[in-house]
Amino acid sequence: MKEQKKEKMSLILFSGDLDKALAAFHLSTGATTMGMDSCIFFTFWGINLLRKKENKVAVKKNFIDKLFGSMMPKGPTDLKLSKMNMGGLGTKMMKKIMKDKDQVSLDTLMKTATDAGVKFIACTSSMEMMGICKEELIENIELGSVATYLKESIDADIRLFI
């Protein structure tokens, strides 16, 4: 009897927008709930979700890397909406609506995804370009290249780019 292969979903999270990150985590957590393996490859602006709010480890950086890092969001709580942000007002309204309707926050979704076994991979070439060091990222993140993602996605039943 032929062994049945476990279904798999792989997702590239390129965006650093709150609404797109919410979608990515709902999808990946939903996939694991349905018994699928799930992987999110964080690249470019998406890596900002993985940044710690406060980094207690001193990281030596050049001026440009420090400047670039200071302009980027640190973690899921700093993300803005992709549309209707209106100087931050839209983001605040969305977070209030989510709370009023008992929707979980992006922080909670990330923890749920981690607990469910969603694999997080941070793109090392994007990290290098953006001046982000491993010490600045949350725990349980795998570092990898495009080849790492391709290996994860080659046999995936569902591949998404957000």
Residue 70 lies in a domain: yes
Reported as a single tens digit per residue, the pLDDT across 119-161 is 999 999 999 988 898 999 998 899 999 999 999 899 899 999 9
**What pLDDT does 82 receive?**
84
- CATH code at 14? 3.40.1260.10
**What pLDDT does 162 receive?**
93
3 confidence band (pLDDT: 50, 70, 90): low
Structural domain containing residue 152: 8-161
Q: How wide is the angle at C-alpha 93 spanned by C-alphas 161 and 53, nearest 5°?
A: 65
Considering only residues 152 and 54, tell me which one the structure prediction assigns the higher pLDDT: 152
Q: How far is CA 77 from CA 21, 55, 58, 140, in A?
A: 11, 15, 22, 19
Considering only residues 57 and 93, tell me which one the structure prediction assigns the higher pLDDT: 93
- 93-117 burial string, b = 16+ CB within 10 Å, else e? ebbeeeeeeeebebeebbebbbeee
**What pLDDT does 42 receive?**
96
Q: Of 134, 130, 145, nearest to 55 (Cα)?
A: 134
Residue 3 lies in a domain: no
Considering only residues 73 and 34, tell me which one the structure prediction assigns the higher pLDDT: 34
Q: How many domains does the chain contain in total?
A: 1
C-alpha span between 131 and 145 (Å, rounded): 16
Residue 2 lies in a domain: no
Reported as a single tens digit per residue, the pLDDT across 9-28 is 999 999 999 999 999 999 99
Q: Of 51, 45, 34, 36, nearest to 12 (Cα)?
A: 45
2 confidence band (pLDDT: 50, 70, 90): low
**What pLDDT does 123 receive?**
96
Q: Of 52, 78, 75, 40, nearest to 134 (Cα)?
A: 52
Residue 1 lies in a domain: no
Residue 9 bridge partners (DSSP): 38, 158
Residue 66 lies in a domain: yes
76 confidence band (pLDDT: 50, 70, 90): confident
**What pLDDT does 4 receive?**
64
The torsion angles phi and psi of 159, rounded to 5 degrees, stand at -125, 125
